[in-house]
Each structure stands twice: as C-alpha cells, then as structure tokens.
Amino acid sequence: MRSYSARSVEAYEKIEQVGEGTYGEVFMARSRDDSSLVALKKVKLEGEREGFPITAIREIKILKSLNHDNVINMKEIVTSKNKSSIYMVFEYMDHDLTGLAGREGIKFSIPQIKCYMQQLLTGLNYCHLNNILHRDIKGANLLIDNNGVLKLADFGLARSCALENSRALTNRVITLWYRPPELLLGTQAYGPAVDTWSAGCIFAELLLGKPILQVRVSSDARLPRRAKARGRASNSPRVPNPPSSLFLGFFFLKPQGKSETEQLDLIFKLCGTPSAEDWPGLHSLPWAKTILPTKKAYPRRVQEVFRRAPPSARRLVERFLTLDPEKRVTARDALDSDYFWEEPLPCKPGDLPKYEPSHEFQTRKRKQEASRAQEERARRAPAPGAGAGYGAAAKYAGYRAAAPLGSWAAPAAGGMTASWAQPKKKDEAE
C-alpha cells in the first residue's frame, strides 16, 4: 500500500455510486493505469470541526494493520486536485450480502450459506486474534466478489481491544438489529463477543430468509446528523458517531432510547429473559437495574423458531445467540462446529454462482424507484370498478421493470431462504 504522499483521484475514472456509508459515498471506478476496477470511498470532511475525521483515521490505521483474504484490502489514499476531498481506494467487490440477498430470485443453497459463514467467521477470527473489534458486522458490510470471496469491510467503527487498552468503550456501536444485549444494557467493557452476536444474527437471517431481530426505529432522532441532512432512507438504522471526547463520552453514558429498549425486548422474546443464573454478570451491567424490572419474563424460543433447520445449524444458532457474552461461542469455536464439517459441506468460493452486481444501496434504490413507479401507475389507473383490477401482478411488473434480471435469476422470488426452509408462519421470529 502507498503511503500518505497521495496521488490524485484523477488516476481513476468514476463510473457510478454503489454505496453510501455513514461517513461518505462509495463509487465504482476504473484505474486509468491498468483498467482494474476499484471502489473509491470518499471521506466526508464537511462539518468536521477537528479536521480529518477521527473515524477515518481509525479506519485507515486499522486497515493498514490487517492483511487477510477475508478482510477488505485498502490499496491507497488519493485526493482531489485542490485536496478538498480525500478518497480511500479499495479493491472492487461486486456485491454486499444485503444487496445480494435482497435481489429478486436469489435463493442461497446450504453449501453456499456455509461457505459465506465460514469466510465471515474466518475473517472475524483473524480480526479478533489481532485484537480488533469490528463493531458493525451486518450484511451491508460483508462484501462478496464474483469469485465467491467474502470480505469484512467498513472498519469505521472498529477499534483495538488489546489488554493494555482497557479504557471504557462506547456502547452505542453496531447497527441496532445486530447489537448484542450487553451493549443494550450499557456495558462499556466488552470484547469480541459483540461481533459474534452480530455474526449469529447474520447466520440466523441466512437460515430464516429475513432479519431476525428487526426493531422499527421509532424516529430518525438517532440517525447521524449528516445522514439526516441528506434525507437518507435506510432499511437498517445507522449508529451515531462514536464519542471523540470526554464530553461526548458523558452523553453516551445516558440510558437507552425507545428503539434500543424495544430491540432488547425483541431479543428477550426470542432468546428468553435472562436471569442471574444463566448470566451471572447480568445485574452488574449499568442499566440492568432500570431496564430489567420493566421486562416481562419470556421463555427461550430459539429451538422452536429454527425447528426446520438441521440440528447442527440449530445448535450453532443457540451458541451464537447466547445472552451471556462470556458463554457465547467464539469465531474460532464456531468454525470447529459440526455444522461446517458435516454433509452438505460448504462449497468452495469459486464454485458459487456468479451474479449481476448487487449492493444494498442499489437494491434499495431499485426498490424505491419501483415503488414510486407503482404509486405513479396507481395514480393514473382508472378508479376501482372502472376496468381491469390493478393488483399484485402490476406491482410485480413494476418491480421487474425497474430491476431487470439477468439470466442467472430464478423465476420465483426466493429471498435469503435456505432450501430446507418452508414458507414462514406468521409467528416465526417476530
């Protein structure tokens, strides 16, 4: 990787926007030197009172320290002509997991799910061995190329968790749906188990075909200022900037908002309301005294919700979704679990199907365009009873028109569901 004597962004030709991170836009671009594709991640500088954003400094520092097949590779940093914009240059990845899974007609096979999970856990285990916590594991941050290789990306919230670095950590990290119970109960002393909870949520999502712990965000009050300013709509809540000063640190000690307590409710409804017996450190968590007495006693329902999954998958979900972080499975142990070593075995990345490019940003945009087109058609359609009904077929046609499918697409809408999964019952994983 090049050092800070940055080249000009003119070395790349921008093609199209493929993503929008919390801290800047991401573009697909082509190198003018060798025609290779790259991703340019623009570092947002506007509104930064402290110059170069601390999150970008952290991300660059951490990315420079990591070198693994399942971790995104930053090639260099480039600047605009007048140095007013800075871009991180990454190897280009064709998909992110959310974008891919959200495409019409895509249905992951069991060997494919195993292959993605194995790569996710291998990358995560590497980070954890190097004392790095990712702190924002979710589908949009798992990038996949057309050789089937999955890489962890977006280290904007990552940080070192080395023993000598034992300062209190912020608990407002990890996108809400993937945030573990210990953070929602206010802990500021945590470790790799926060990432394995998120990995477990991804695994459960791949098995069930939908996010398992998807709380509604009650208002946009918790969106980062800049995302709000852009009027950003997202299907997953974003996390605010981590604190960069003691003053902000105080703000981050405040107890939870409505969305966070609802998220905890969802977790308890699926995983059971914990007791001191199954989670010995529970009552010493900062917000346990105020939050726990307000919670109903729910039984654990993991076995029931995943009853159609093979036993080894069920056992692994149980180990991931263990409320006590001390007892939660590690990335290393998860890789050793029966699930990855029994038939059908994980396929090799190179054997995975090739898909048309799909990123969460584009999938979301296509869906928005489709629903706008649908609204427009509905507006123009004759009043009910005045002619042929405008129903699901038209809605579907609207989506298809906005999102043309390539020959790889199966005709039926499959979602993220593994082939063993039956149509979901209404009460499953709510």
Residues identified as active-site = 136
Q: How many CA atoms lie within 13 Å of 218's alpha carbon, on the beta-carbon side?
A: 8
Q: How far, in Å, CA of 321 to CA of 180, rounded? A: 9
DSSP 264-288: HHHHHHHH----TTT-TTGGGSTTH
Token output for 306: 């995943």
Q: Identify residues 138-177 at the interface with ligand AMP (CB under 6 A).
A: 140-141, 143, 153-154
Window of 210-218, 234-242, 272-280, 355-363 that interacts with ligand AMP by CB under 6 A: 355-363
User: Which CB sits closer to ligand AMP, 89 or 309?
Assistant: 89
The residue from 56, 58, 62, 96 that contacts ligand AMP (CB under 6 A) is 96
Min dist CB 66 to ligand AMP, Å, is 14
Query: Collapsing DSSP states into helix, strand and coil, what is residue 26?
Result: strand
Contact between 72 and ligand AMP per CB under 6 A: yes
Q: How far, in Å, CA of 37 to CA of 35, rounded? A: 6
Q: How far, in Å, CA of 113 to CA of 150, rounded? A: 11
User: Which CB sits closer to ligand AMP, 13 or 338?
Assistant: 13
Min dist CB 291 to ligand AMP, Å, is 30
Residue 305 region, left (φ>0) first, then alpha (ψ -120 to 50), else beta?
Answer: alpha
Token output for 275: 């007791």
The residue from 172, 359, 364, 366 that contacts ligand AMP (CB under 6 A) is 359
User: Which CB sits closer to ligand AMP, 108 or 361?
Assistant: 361
The residue from 9, 18, 202, 329 that contacts ligand AMP (CB under 6 A) is 18
User: Which CB sits closer to ligand AMP, 104 or 360?
Assistant: 360
Contact between 361 and ligand AMP per CB under 6 A: yes
- Identify the CA nearest to 192 among candidates 96, 332, 316: 332
Instruction: Give the CA angle between residues 221, 223, 226 to the nearest 5°.
Output: 120
The residue from 104, 182, 360, 428 that contacts ligand AMP (CB under 6 A) is 360
Q: Identify residues 24-63 at the interface with ligand AMP (CB under 6 A).
A: 26, 39, 41
Q: How far, in Å, CA of 267 to CA of 155, rounded? A: 25
Token output for 44: 């947002």
Window of 48-56, 89-97, 127-135, 342-350 that interacts with ligand AMP by CB under 6 A: 89-97
The residue from 60, 93, 199, 208 that contacts ligand AMP (CB under 6 A) is 93
Min dist CB 325 to ligand AMP, Å, is 25
Spatial contact of 215 and 177, defined as CB atoms under 8 Å apart: yes
Min dist CB 338 to ligand AMP, Å, is 32
Window of 13-21, 45-53, 219-227, 299-307 that interacts with ligand AMP by CB under 6 A: 13-21
Q: How far, in Å, CA of 135 to CA of 240, rounded? A: 12
Amino acid at 353: P
Min dist CB 190 to ligand AMP, Å, is 22
Alpha carbon 376 to chain centroid distance? 32
Contact between 92 and ligand AMP per CB under 6 A: yes
Min dist CB 102 to ligand AMP, Å, is 11
The residue from 9, 12, 21, 144 that contacts ligand AMP (CB under 6 A) is 21
User: Which CB sits closer to ligand AMP, 40 or 117?
Assistant: 40
Q: How many C-beta neighbours within 10 Å does residue 426 have?
A: 5
Instruction: Find the radius of gyration of the CA atoms of the chain.
Output: 22
Amino acid at 379: R
Contact between 137 and ligand AMP per CB under 6 A: no
Min dist CB 130 to ligand AMP, Å, is 19
Amino acid at 404: P
Q: How far, in Å, CA of 203 to CA of 211, rounded? A: 10
Min dist CB 28 to ligand AMP, Å, is 7
Query: Collapsing DSSP states into helix, strand and coil, what is residue 24?
Result: strand
Kindly list the residues in this chain that would bind ligand AMP in the complex (CB under 6 A).
Answer: 18-19, 21, 26, 39, 41, 72, 90-93, 96, 99, 140-141, 143, 153-154, 359-361
